[in-house]
Amino acid sequence: MTVPARAVVRDACTPIAGSVTRADALTQWCEIRFGLPVGAADRGWVVAETLLAEPSGFDTWRETLAGWLRAQYGDAPDRTTGGYVMSWYLSAVGMLGGTLFHLARRVPSLRPSDVAIRIAGEDRPHVIGLALLADDFACLPDDPEADHPAAAAVADDHALAALLRARFAAHATRFVASFGPTVRLGRRQLWAAATDALDSAAWTAGQLRGDEAAGAADSALLLPDRLDPFTSASTLRAAESGWTRRRESCCFHFALPGAEACATCPRVC
């Protein structure tokens, strides 16, 4: 899988690049950056457009994951490798959009040509990096950079949330069309995973920022109701031990030898 030369960006100083830098400072498990480094392809980076246009890349990803699962659990059911990759990919795209929405009230381009992910190598092949490759973004009228040539102001929080929801849905539609035929997972399962990814994105950013309630409130803005093609409204709720949510999708972790269903799995809830 190749990385187009135009995707390599250095010394970026656009408004959205600054937001990405602030988002990266919050995360430890995943790098978030603007543009790609030199030698990106050799370091596990792939532009989403390339992956979606060549679905065989998903097969390669799942084969690498299967090897890791067999070493860890002794088996690697097809539905588990499919469920893991499905969840990892959609969560990455959702995280990129949801984090910038929560932290900066900015919505980036989520076109597959404007998003890249980095997949870990020989170790557990999960997503360890996210890159935004486009300058343009949407924001609120009172954003300090609302007059920037790359900015497009919308009326209010609800309009901005609707825009993020639409951009994420457009990317997820491409994913469902590309990845779906490579796995034995139904369309509803794929869109349930997309719903989980969008619902968790702002919440996760709120957790990292130390204000879960604010993250949950933003999740409610993004999924205020069951809006097609998503499978539910936000399922976040306050519990005795803190905020929690009911997953819409299953990653099929329970199908591994000796494994149990996740606590928030729809099979449990």
Is residue 262 included in any domain, yes or no? no
Q: Which of 3-7, 27-31, 235-239 has the lowest mean pLDDT?
A: 3-7
158 pLDDT higher than 80: yes
Give the range among 36-40, 212-216, 231-235, 255-259 with minimum mean pLDDT. 255-259
204 is a domain residue = yes
pLDDT tens readout for residues 32-83:
999 999 888 888 999 999 999 999 999 999 999 999 999 999 999 999 999 9
Q: Is residue 161 part of a domain?
A: yes
How many domains, the chain? 1
Specify the pLDDT at position 6.
43
Structure confidence by residue, pLDDT tens digits, 9-25: 444 579 999 999 999 99
Q: What is the mean pLDDT of residues 145-156?
A: 98
Domain CATH for 211: 1.10.510
State the Cα–Cα distance between residues 97 and 48, nearest whole angstrom: 14
In this prediction the pTM is 0.93
Contact between residue 172 and residue 90 where contact means Cβ atoms under 8 Å apart: yes
Lowest mean pLDDT across 5-19, 36-50, 137-151, 227-241? 5-19
Residue 198 belongs to a domain: yes
User: What pLDDT is attached to residue 10?
Assistant: 41
Question: Is 149 a residue whose pLDDT tops 90?
Answer: yes
Q: Which of 6-15, 101-110, 234-243 has the lowest mean pLDDT?
A: 6-15
- 91 Cβ partners below 8 Å, 6+ apart? 127, 196, 197, 200, 201
Residue-wise pLDDT tens digits, 166-199: 999 999 999 999 999 999 999 999 999 999 999 9
**What was the pLDDT predicted at 139?**
98
Domain that holds residue 149: 15-255
Q: What pLDDT is stored for residue 9 in this prediction?
A: 45
Looking at the domain assignment, is residue 123 inside a domain? yes
pLDDT of residue 269: 57
CA dist., res. 159 & res. 183, Å (int): 35
Partners of 139 in beta bridges: 153
Cα dihedral 112→25→129→67 (10° resolution): -140
Cite the beta strand spans of the chain per DSSP E: 31-34, 45-47, 107-108, 115-119, 127-132, 137-139, 151-153, 237-239, 242-244
Residue 177 lies in a domain: yes
In a domain, 9, yes or no: no
Tell me: cis bond preceding 4? Omega within 30 of 0 counts.
Answer: no
Average pLDDT of the residues of the chain:
91
Q: Is residue 1 part of a domain?
A: no
